[in-house]
Structures are given as C-alpha cells and as structure tokens.
Structure 1
Amino acid sequence: MSVPVVLVAGLHGAARAAVVDRLLREHSGALAIHHDLRQITGGLVVRTVRDAGVVREQVAVRLEHGCVTCTVRLDLIPQLLRYAGQASLLVVDLWDAVEPQSVAETVGHPEADPDLRLTGVLTALDAELMPTDICRGELLSEIGKQAAAGDGRYLAEVLAHQIEYATALVVPETMPAPLPSADEEDLELCREVLGHLAPMTPVAMPGDPLPAVTGPGVCVHELAARVDPASAQLPCMAHTPAVDTVVWHRARPLHPGRFFDAMDDLATRSVRSRGRFWLANRPDRLLAWDAVAGIVSIEDTGPWLAALPETAWEDVPLARRLAASLDWTPEHGDRVQHLVLTGPGLDQDEIHALLDGCLLAPDEPVTVVEDPFAELLDRDAAG
C-alpha cells in the first residue's frame, strides 16, 4: 500500500516549520524530510529527516550539479522510497525558494513509484509578511534565498507561484519563539489578499484544522491546468476594503505597438496580474502575461485551439478544451483577451480605458513596421 506524501512549500521558513511541526504532531508515525539549499551553488545540500520528537538523520550531500531538479531526482525520491515502509505520512519540507510544481510532478507522476502517493501541496504563510512580500521586487539572489547558481527569479514572483499552485494555504496559529504571532489586523489583511490571489483555494487560518493529507492522491495534471495560461482558473472581479481585482475580457486583437507602450503602466498599477492575450500580427499564438511587483514576463505558450486542425483537438488536454469553449466565438474561436489585475485602489474604468485603447479598431489595418515583441518572443521560440 502506498504511503501518503504531502509537500509543504513557502518562502516564510518559520511559518513553514510551524506547519510541518503540526503535521508531525497530528499524524503518529509521520516523518519530515528537508533539504537545506543554502550551499547549493557549491553543489552541497544538507538533508534532515525528523519525526515529532527527534532528528533521526542530518547528512551533507554533495551533488554533481547544484540545482533543485538534481536534489529531487538524486536524493529526495530515494529517501522517500527508503522511508516509505516506515512512515504513516511523509512530509516534504521544501526549501524557502522552491516552487512546488516541479517537485509535485516528480513525486506524483502517474508513472512514478507506486509506493508513493502525493496527497497535497500546502503553502505556509506568515500573515504579517505575506502582504508585504507579494509587493517586493528583489531578486532571490539579493536576499540570499536563491535555489541554484544563476537563479534569476524574484521574491514576489516565487511567492505568487507558491500561493497559486497549492491545494491549500495555511497560516499557522503560532510562530516559533521568539517570533511574535500575527495580530488580528495582520490576519484579516492576509485572508483578504489570499481571497483575491487564490479565491478557489482553501485557506486554513489560526484555529482551523489542517487540510486532510492522508486521503486519495491528487492529479498533477489537474494541478498544472489550474496555473497553465491556456486553462488557468483566473480570479473574478472583486472589491474588498484593502484590495481590488479588475478583470478585462475582450474578443478583439491588440495592436502590438500600443500594447507594448502600455505594458509598464499596466504592470505598475497592480501588485499581481496574469492572463492570456493575442496580438493582431500574431493571430495564431496564445501569449501569456505574468506580472508581479512591477516585473513583467511575456511568453508564447503555443497555438490557440482555433489555429489547430480539428483532428489535433483530441490530443489537447480536456481542461484546455473546456477553457476554450467558454471563450469561443464564431469569428475568432478561442482567441481572447483575458487579463486579471489585483492590487490596492485599482480603478476599473481607468484600466479598461487603457487596455481598450490598445485594441485594434474594427477597420484598422495591422501596420507594424517593427514588431516590438519580436526580440522577446522570437528569441524564446528559437531557444
């Protein structure tokens, strides 16, 4: 019989440790495995295995290549299998800056070892730090939290991805001494922000029971579809005292020049924004928008469903086909502008006016002397 495995992610190490400790206390026979990546740029990680009472093992492991992928493949998976017959629950305590998706897809892959059963991905959060950290634009390398040599990710970017991928979010009731627990105002703001960023994800606040982690396995393909730009479950329009979420949804193409000129303004108006869009001069390509703390990423994620022959649709994941059906129009198929912006004091009318001004007028020709997106998108496609 397979042993349940739960991942616990989170940039806030003290909060993550509190959640792991509680899992170990509440599940007799549970073991936690943690890889300390502070020296990973030199190819060295420190593996710790512990239960609710004692540290069972602490070993320095030298890897040929210092990266998270190698750590998971060469050390984490063998250790999970080593302890699979000894534990009632295996808790993978991820290092601060590790995004859980790649680890989840390795542990929970349908062809992975049948002795392991991925049952959840929890992200632990410090209620006092989270609303501030989601606005921080520092590189991980600037604050000593990089997960590999040359890690070019940003703190807010990683935190957003940890929040949005999780099957549940946990704000621990108490923090380890001497750290103070969050006050009611911090907790309320944290709950409010999470309600905008991940409105469909369960949140366990102080006093709530932890999510169940010993039941059936989760499907990593379904988890991936929730954050894939082509099928992501994007938040709806919402207004709360401290935070607003604005949705822009249109079925006309964007003028590449005007939209490129508006990008910085659009990114800096919100704390977090994401979605999918299409440019008039690239009608067959589904482009993804991902911005946090003023840092924008644009990615070509492949063809729109309408650009594929119908014979190829059977090879497209069901979640993608369902998402396409919701946006389908006779004229454009599933081509759509669907951007969601979250932040304090957002003016929906201003944002809609900015973006509507970037749309191609009904009779306007696509006159692009020089495509401003070419260097970014064509370079990525070539790479």
Structure 2
Amino acid sequence: MSTPVVLVAGLHAQARTATVDRLLHDHPGAVAVHHDLRSVTGGRVERLVRDRSGILDLTEIRLAHGCLTCAVREDLLPELVRRAPAASLLVVDLWDSVEPRSVAEAIDRDETRDTLRLTAVLTALHAEYMPIDITRGDRLTETGLSAADGDERHLAEVLARQIEYATALVLHGGDADDDDLSRRVLTHLAPLTPVHRTTTPPEVRAAALCTVELAERVDPATARLPCDTRTEEITTVVWHRRRPLHPARLFDAVDELVTESVRSRGRFWLVTRPERLLAWDAVAGAVSVEDAGPWLAALPEAAWEMVSPARRTAAALDWDAEYGDRTQHLVFTGPDLDAGRVTALLDSCLLTEAEREAGPAAWTTCPDPFATILALQESA
C-alpha cells in the first residue's frame, strides 16, 4: 500500500510551518521532511525530519552538485521511500522559493508509485504579506531566497507559480481585512482553487494526483485561464481575438501592458510566425515571451495523435475556419485596471484590415523585435 505524500510550498515560511504543524497534529503517524537550501550553492543542504512530537533527525547532506534537482534526486526521494513504511502521511515542507511542480513530477514516477502516492499540493500564504508580495519586482537574490547559483527569478514570479499550480491554498496570519483581501486576490489568480485556513486544512489523504493533468492546468496551450472578473478594486480583463498581432506594435505596447497590470498570462500569435504558439507570462513588471511549440493547425492531421487529449480538446474549443486553433487569449489582472484601455491598446496591435488583405508575402516583411528574444531562447 502506497503512503500518501503532500507537498507544502510557499514563500512565507511562517505560514508554511503553521500548515505543516497542523497536518502533523491532525494525522497521527505523519512525518515531515524539510531541506534548508540556504547553502545549496555550496553543495550542502540541511535535512530536518520531524513528527508532531518534535525533531526525529537533523542531518547535513553533501550533494554532487549545488542545485534543487540534486537535493530532490539524491536525498528527498530516498528519504521519503525510507520513511514511507512507518508513516501514515509524508509531508514535504518545501524551501521558500521552490516551485512545487518540479518536486511533484519527481515524486510521481513509475519507480516510486508503489511506495509513494502524491495526494495534494498545498501552497501556504501569509494573509498579511501575500497581496503585497505578488506586486514586488525584487529578484530572489535580493531577498536571500535564491535556490541555486544564477537564480534570476523574481519573488512575485515564484509566488504566482506556487499559487497557480497548487491543488489547494492555505491562508495563515493577518486579521479579518487581510484575509478578505487575500481571498479577493486569489479569486483572480486561481479562481478554481479552494482556499482554506491553517485551522481547517484540506483533506490530503486522497487518491493519487496525476501530474500530467496538473501541468495541463498551467501550461500555455491548455491553461485554465481566469475569466473577466471585478471584485471591488481588483479587475481581471480577458482579451480574446482571432486576427494576428503585428509584432512591432505589440512590442511597443509591452511596457504599458505589464506596468498597468500585476499579473498577466496567456497564449498569442504573431503574423511573422503563424506556426508557433507563443506564451505570455508577466508578473510585477517582469515579462517573459516564449515559444511554446506549434499550433495544431500548423501540424499534419496525423500528428494530432501525438499530443494530449487536453491539447486536442483546447484546440477544438478554439477552432476557427480561417485560423484553426490560432488565437489571442491574454488575461490581465490588477488594481483599478482600466479594462477599456487595456482592450483598446491590444486591439491597436492587431493587423489592420489593409495589412491583412496584403497577404502572407507582405506579412513576412513586418519588423519583428521578438525575433531576437526568441532566437536567444532557442540557442540557450
């Protein structure tokens, strides 16, 4: 019989510890494993194992390479497998800046499935700090929370991914107003994810999760994006169009789009690269545009069997006689966001009717400032 495993992620250590404490209290025989990654770049981590009675083991681990992947592969997985037979529940208390997806996918493997059963991915949030931290443009290196050499991620970027990947969110601390504001923010960032308090955490000893399905909830081609929503001062705007974007006009609009919103994401296409699905991901002023693979309309029909059912379903729902599954689907969230302004700005970046009628030969001559960025990613 496999042992249930729950991941507890979150930048806010106090909230994460309170959540882990509650799980240990509520589940006799549960064991929590935590790796302190402050020295991981030097090839060392400290592993703490505890149950509700206190510390069971505190060991310094030396790694072949100083990175999170090594810590998971060389120590976390073997430790979980070793502890599984005697534990009623295994709680993985993740380091502050760890994004849970990579750890979840490392646990959900064929070779460990008979021993370990991933049942929940929780992100613990401090209700007082979360609404502020999701707007912060600090890099992790500036806050002392980086998890590897050369970690260039931003604090708000990590927080957004921890929130959006989780199967449940757990709020801790703050007063009633903080709790209310946090719930309103989370309504926009992760509208389908249940929110709990540390005093009443979600059920975690359930059926095994499928990490392929978890990934499909956030991957650009299949992501479950928020809908148009307004809760008091917070607004989410959905922009959904068919016509291709002019790369130079969109590039010129990027700064205004990301500074007016706190969080934005989605998928889009440029007239200069009609075969490629591009992913838009921005938070707290930092924006990323990446090539997320081909549109299904650009593939021969026989190749459709090679993609997931979720991808085929998403394409079918978005299918258009002229453009196939090519679509502009971007979502912007921010306080007092001017929905009309965002929509008008994005609409101005679309090909005009005259440009569209000029045809593909003319489209390829459009200046494309994104080409350099995407080429750098391809060569990395």
TM class by shorter chain equals over 0.9
Q: Secondary structure at the match of 2:4?
A: strand
- Is contact 2:246-2:366 (8 Å) kept? no
CA positional deviation for 1:206: 5.7
Aligned residue number for residue 175 of structure 1: none
Q: What is the rounded CA distance, in whole Å, between the counterparts of 2:257 and 2:365 in structure 1? A: 21
Note the alpha carbon deviations across 1:295-333, whole angstroms, 9 max, x for none: 000000110011111101011011111111111101000
CA positional deviation for 1:367: 6.1
1:260-299 correspondence to structure 2 within 5 Å: 260-299=251-290
Read off the aligned partner of 1:358 and give its amino acid letter.
C
Mean Cα displacement is larger for which, 370-379 or 287-296?
Answer: 370-379
Q: What is the rounded CA distance, in whole Å, between the counterparts of 1:289 and 1:127 in structure 2? A: 28
Read off the aligned partner of 1:74 and give its amino acid letter.
E
Note the alpha carbon deviations across 1:66-92, whole angstroms, 9 max, x for none: 111000000000000010101000000
Matched, 1:48 2:40: no
Aligned residue number for residue 192 of structure 1: 184
Read off the aligned partner of 2:84 and give its amino acid letter.
A
Read off the aligned partner of 1:273 and give its amino acid letter.
S
Q: What is the rounded CA distance, in whole Å, between the counterparts of 1:305 and 1:211 in structure 2? A: 38
Read off the aligned partner of 1:136 and give its amino acid letter.
R
Aligned residue number for residue 28 of structure 2: 28
- Is contact 1:257-1:368 (8 Å) kept? no
Aligned residue number for residue 224 of structure 1: 215
Aligned residue number for residue 142 of structure 2: 142
- Is contact 1:189-1:242 (8 Å) kept? no
- Of 301, 315, 318, 1:324 maps to 315
Read off the aligned partner of 1:200 and give its amino acid letter.
L
Q: What is the rounded CA distance, in whole Å, between the counterparts of 2:171 and 2:109 in structure 1? A: 28
Aligned residue number for residue 350 of structure 1: 341
- Is contact 1:106-1:112 (8 Å) kept? no
Mean Cα displacement is larger for which, 102-111 or 265-274?
Answer: 102-111
- Is contact 2:271-2:364 (8 Å) kept? no
Read off the aligned partner of 2:69 and give its amino acid letter.
T
Identity of aligned residues (%): 61
Q: How many residues align?
A: 374
Q: Which runs of 5+ in 2 are unaligned?
A: none
Q: What is the rounded CA distance, in whole Å, between the counterparts of 2:14 and 2:223 in structure 1? A: 30
Q: TM (normalized to structure 1)? A: 0.96
Q: Secondary structure at the match of 1:97?
A: coil
- Is contact 2:131-2:182 (8 Å) kept? yes
Shift >4 Å, 4+ stretches: none
Aligned residue number for residue 258 of structure 1: 249
1:124-273 correspondence to structure 2 within 5 Å: 124-172=124-172, 181-205=173-197, 209-273=200-264
Q: TM (normalized to structure 2)? A: 0.97
Q: What is the rounded CA distance, in whole Å, between the counterparts of 1:184 and 1:157 in structure 2? A: 26
Q: Secondary structure at the match of 1:91?
A: strand
Q: What is the rounded CA distance, in whole Å, between the counterparts of 2:243 and 2:164 in structure 1? A: 28
CA positional deviation for 1:378: 1.6
Q: CA RMSD in A?
A: 1.1
Q: Which runs of 5+ in 1 are unaligned?
A: 173-180
CA positional deviation for 1:369: 5.4
